[in-house]
C-alpha cells in the first residue's frame, strides 16, 4: 500500500499535463499501487476565489476520487476571509488538511498572518502542507518567476500543528536542513529529492518517521518518485514507513 501525500488536481496554468484530468490521474495512481493520495488544486495558486477552488476540489475528489483522493484545501491568509475558507475546509468539506502556497500568495513564514493560520489550523486539528516550490526555476514562465519559500522561520514558530514541507529540496540543501529536521512536527516529502540513492541518504539528516512519499504528480511523473524508492535499497521496514505508515500515523494523530 502506498500513500502519495503530494498530488494536485485541475490544470497547471502554463501547459497541459498528462493526468491533468481527474479520472485519468486516478487511473494512473491505481495502476501504480497508490491506495490514497492527498490532493491540492492548481487553481489555488492564482485564483483569488479560494472558496470556489475548495468547493470544486471537494467535488472532484468525491465524484472521481474512487476512495483514493483526500482533498487538501487552499487557504490564503492574505485574503480577508481566510478564516471562513478554513472553516469550510474542515466543517463543510471534512478535509484533513490544507495546502499553502506562500510564494504565489505573497507572504513569508515569518509573517504574522502565517502564525495566525498555524494557530487556527491547530485548533481545528488540520495538517498544514507548505509547497516550498512547484517547478524547477528553469522551466518557469519568464513573466512569472516565483521564488522558493524560505522554511527557516519555522524554527522560531515551533509549530504544534504538523507541517509538511512539499518540494523542499532546492531550498534546504546542506546545513539548512538539520535544524528543521530536528523539529518533531515538521515532515518532508520526497518529490524533489535528487541524486543516486537520494532517499537512502535522506534518512541520515531526517528521522525516517518524518519522511513521506510524495510525487508532485501530475506536474512531475509519478514513476520518478517510485523509482527513487526502488533504487535507494532501503530496508523493508523503512520503505513501509515512507510509503504508507508515516502518512497514516499523521492522519490518525489529528
Which of 233, 252, 254, 246 lies closest to 4 in space, CA to CA? 246
**What domains lie within the chain, and their CATH numbers?**
2-252 (3.20.20.140)
Tens of pLDDT, residue by residue over 176-216, are: 999 999 999 999 999 999 988 899 999 999 999 999 999 99
Give the model's pLDDT for residue 91.
98
Give the model's pLDDT for residue 52.
98
Which of 91, 48, 51, 98 lies closest to 71 in space, CA to CA? 98
- What's the number of CA atoms in the CB half-sphere (13 Å) around residue 253? 13
Tens of pLDDT, residue by residue over 106-159, are: 999 999 999 999 999 999 999 999 999 999 888 889 888 999 999 999 988 766
pLDDT at 21 over 90: yes
Residue 207 in grid coordinates: 528521522
Tens of pLDDT, residue by residue over 162-178, are: 999 999 999 998 889 99
Tens of pLDDT, residue by residue over 31-53, are: 999 999 999 999 999 999 999 99
Q: Mean pLDDT over all residues of the chain? A: 95
Tens of pLDDT, residue by residue over 219-250, are: 999 999 999 999 999 999 999 999 999 999 99
SS3 154: helix
Which of 225, 229, 203 lies closest to 216 in space, CA to CA? 225
Amino acid at each position: 500500500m502506498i500513500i502519495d501525500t503530494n498530488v494536485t488536481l485541475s490544470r497547471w496554468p502554463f501547459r497541459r499535463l498528462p493526468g491533468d484530468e481527474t479520472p485519468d490521474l486516478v487511473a494512473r495512481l491505481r495502476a501504480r499501487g497508490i491506495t490514497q493520495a492527498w490532493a491540492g488544486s492548481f487553481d489555488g495558486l492564482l485564483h483569488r476565489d479560494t472558496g470556489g477552488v475548495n468547493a470544486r476540489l471537494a467535488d472532484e475528489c468525491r465524484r472521481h476520487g474512487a476512495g483514493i483522493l483526500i482533498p487538501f484545501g487552499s487557504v490564503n491568509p492574505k485574503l480577508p476571509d481566510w478564516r471562513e475558507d478554513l472553516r469550510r475546509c474542515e466543517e463543510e468539506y471534512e478535509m484533513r488538511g490544507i495546502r499553502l502556497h506562500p510564494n504565489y500568495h505573497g507572504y513569508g513564514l515569518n509573517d504574522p498572518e502565517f502564525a495566525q493560520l498555524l494557530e487556527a489550523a491547530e485548533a481545528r486539528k488540520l495538517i498544514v502542507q507548505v509547497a516550498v516550490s512547484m517547478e524547477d526555476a528553469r522551466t518557469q514562465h519568464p513573466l512569472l518567476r516565483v521564488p522558493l519559500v524560505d522554511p527557516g522561520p519555522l524554527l522560531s514558530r515551533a509549530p504544534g500543528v504538523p507541517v509538511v514541507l512539499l518540494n523542499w529540496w532546492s531550498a534546504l540543501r546542506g546545513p539548512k536542513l538539520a535544524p528543521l529536521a530536528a523539529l518533531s512536527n515538521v515532515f518532508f516529502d520526497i518529490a524533489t529529492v535528487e541524486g543516486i540513492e537520494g532517499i537512502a541518504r535522506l534518512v541520515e539528516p531526517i528521522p525516517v518517521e518524518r519522511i513521506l512519499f510524495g510525487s508532485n504528480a501530475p506536474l512531475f511523473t509519478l514513476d520518478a518518485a517510485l523509482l527513487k524508492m526502488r533504487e535507494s535499497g532501503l530496508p523493508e521496514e523503512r520503505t513501509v514507513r515512507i510509503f504508507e505508515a508515516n502518512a497514516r500515523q499523521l492522519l490518525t494523530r489529528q
